[in-house]
Amino acid sequence: MVKAMINLTEYENRVLNIIKAKFGFRNKSEAIKLIIHTYESEFLEPELRPEFIEKMGVREKEPIVRVKDFRKHFGLKEDV
């Protein structure tokens, strides 16, 4: 386990204490862990689901479709 010393403003310390009390944590370390896990998905790339990886593997093996006129093939209107 890694130990870290951090500097907090008075306001940040109060917010951390509120989170600690709200969730019934024993110490601020548990509150910081909650914050990290809560915001992890926003900053890190999510893992791909196994079903999606399997589906893309099947799609990868499908034959390639050549399209001469993309707009006509997909029924799109011309830009004016």
Read off the pLDDT of residues 11-34 as tens digits, 9 standing for 90 and up.
999 999 999 999 999 999 999 999
Supply the pLDDT for residue 29: 95
pLDDT value, residue 47:
76
CA–CA dist 44, 30 (Å, integer): 21
pTM given for the model: 0.54
The residues of the chain scoring below 70 in pLDDT are: 80
Per-residue b or e along 25-39, where b marks 16 or more CB atoms closer than 10 Å to that residue's CB: beeeeebbeeeeeee
- 29 DSSP 8-state letter: H
